[in-house]
Amino acid sequence: MTKVTNIFNQNPILKPVGVLALFSIVCTFLLGFKIIEINQFRGFYLIWNLFLAWIPLFISLLLYQKVFTAGENQKQWAIIALTFVWLLFFPNAPYIISDIIHMRKSNQLVWLDALIIFGFATIGLNVGLLSLFIVQKCVSKIYGKAFGWTFISFTIFLSGFGIYLGRDLRYNSWDIITKPEELLLDCISQWNNLHAWNMSMAYAMFIFMAYLTIRSFVGLGQQEQPVEDTATYQSGRKMRFSFNKLN
């Protein structure tokens, strides 16, 4: 137990990752309970969507490792290649919030449906927000804070449009490789589609406000640090991932 505690203390980024992983297990268990209760195999799309939601977080962790530990020449390749892949998969994280359309009002276990879908959506959204924070830190490290915020804002808008493409037009992240021409033509055709703009902006504003809300919570626990431990805390803080200050 001590070794595990030390690992989490030395790598604070693992704390939210661990909590989200545990949350994922609990929600999967609830889904299994529902399947047994109604004796019907429904809801597996949530597990698949949750799996896709975790991909951008793993990519962002790899990006962080490359940017902060690799040489200067490798940093540029990491930020370009890995960030591009991350951009393709990031919309999959908040996409789960749109799965509420699958809720069945006629179901006697509608309360359990709501609990499960809300749980999966909460995990997906927070996994995405965590990866968003990590990528912003990486971009800010190389290009500065102003560019970091600009990049993240642009990413959130693209993710809103990505959710629309996935929910309304039924596209996937890998379609940019499997059928790029069809995807490009459909994207261009949405330029004059008011519904596409409304849905994209609605998703984007929701994600952006959720991100600002989460960031406003960051560092609250650190404010309770005893005065006599401030010097020790500040010394140890330099060796750890900082959640409340972008470099």
Spatial distance between the Cα atoms of 171 and 139, rounded to a whole number of angstroms: 28
**pLDDT, position 223:** 52
Q: Is residue 217 classed exposed, middle or buried when 0-12, 13-18 and 19+ CB atoms within 10 A define those classes?
A: exposed
**pLDDT, position 25:** 96
* CB-CB neighbours of 72 under 10 Å: 7
**pLDDT, position 218:** 78
Phi and psi at 241, nearest 5°, equal: -70, 125
**pLDDT, position 148:** 94
Token code pair at residue 247: 């470099």
- Assign 244 a pLDDT band (cuts: 50, 70, 90): very low
Better-scored residue on pLDDT, 131 or 66: 131
Please give the average per-residue pLDDT across 20-45, as a whole number: 87
Better-scored residue on pLDDT, 42 or 187: 187
Residue 247 in this model has a pLDDT that exceeds 50: no
Please give the average per-residue pLDDT across 35-51, as a whole number: 84
Percent of the chain residues past pLDDT 90, beyond the cut: 51
- Assign 100 a pLDDT band (cuts: 50, 70, 90): confident
pLDDT digits (tens, 9 = 90+) for 197-207: 999 999 999 99
pLDDT digits (tens, 9 = 90+) for 162-199: 999 999 998 988 888 899 899 999 999 999 999 999 99
Better-scored residue on pLDDT, 173 or 70: 173
Ranking 37-41, 50-54, 92-96, 156-160 by mean pLDDT, the lowest is: 37-41
Segments making up each domain of the chain, as ranges: 2-237
Q: In degrees, to the nearest 5, what angle opens at C-alpha 219 toward C-alphas 216 and 224?
A: 125
Token code pair at residue 214: 């989460």
**pLDDT, position 233:** 44
DSSP assignments along 9-65, one per residue: HH-TTHHHHHHHHHHHHHHHHHHHHHHHHHTS---HHHHHHHHHHHHHHHHHHHHHH
Report the chain's mean pLDDT, rounded to a whole number.
83
Ranking 101-115, 142-156, 172-186 by mean pLDDT, the lowest is: 101-115
CA-based nearest residue to 159, from 99, 84, 79, 94: 94
